Amino acid sequence: MKLISAATYSLSDLQRAQRTYLVTLAFLKLVQSPDLGMLRGRPWEAKEMREAQIDADVRKTVTEFYTHWKDQLYVSSRGILCRRRKPSPKIYDHDAIVLPQLYHAAMLFRAHEDPGHQGVDKVNARIHQRFIWPALNSAMRQWVKVCRLCENARTPPGGKQFLLKIIVSGSFNGIVQIDDQKIC
């Protein structure tokens, strides 16, 4: 299984993105002082986000994700928000980076299209090797669902799928049927 990474971005780019995206900024604040009361619509303390108010959708996303992973979220020595994982030499040898929205499309693209348009399960495994973010699974399913090449592979040209009929035969090898539509 090929490893995916954000090689085109620097560490400072990731740090800056985590501090400007409302959801990861909220996680950073909660890791520093775990008070869910800060999500009730008050202005952010961070100077670059002073005027931002948290809307209901962001509040719900942050609350659900944080409540589920609060014991495993931490800020690394390099200032990156991560999620601790149990060591598993067969699957994970490091913690997961909480990826800000800026990088979601790039990671979904790399995990799905670089290895040859693999399905939901393999894309899920590839992304979870290194990253995590709220609603990752639904974003990944949607990405694979709307992929044009995958959609064309699921539906034959012309858009018609022909139903197969069961043919009952009176004797063994009584009827031989050949599908000649795609022989050549």
The half-sphere exposure of 22 on its side-chain side, counting CA atoms within 13 A, is 19
Position 44 pLDDT exceeds 50: no
Domain-embedded: residue 19: yes
Average pLDDT of the chain, as a whole number? 75
Helix and strand element counts for the chain (H, E): 7, 4
Domain-embedded: residue 99: yes
pLDDT value at position 35?
A: 65
C-alpha distances in Å from residue 32, one per residue of 16, 36, 65, 103, 161: 17, 12, 16, 24, 55
Q: Is 80 within 8 Å of 13 (Cβ atoms)?
A: no
Position 46 pLDDT exceeds 50: no
Range of the domain at 142: 11-154
Domain-embedded: residue 83: yes
Q: Residue 110: which of 91, 135, 129, 92 has the closest Cα?
A: 129
Q: How many domains are contained in the chain? A: 1
Q: Average pLDDT for residues 102-118, to the nearest whole number? A: 86
Domain-embedded: residue 29: yes
Position 42 pLDDT exceeds 50: no
Q: Average pLDDT for residues 141-169, to the nearest whole number? A: 72
The pTM score is: 0.67
The kind and range of the H/E element at 97 are: strand 96-98
* Positive or negative torsion for Cα 100, 103, 108, 114: negative
**CATH number of the structural domain spanning residue 99:** 1.10.340.70
Domain-embedded: residue 118: yes
Position 21 pLDDT exceeds 70: yes
Domain-embedded: residue 141: yes
Domain-embedded: residue 180: no
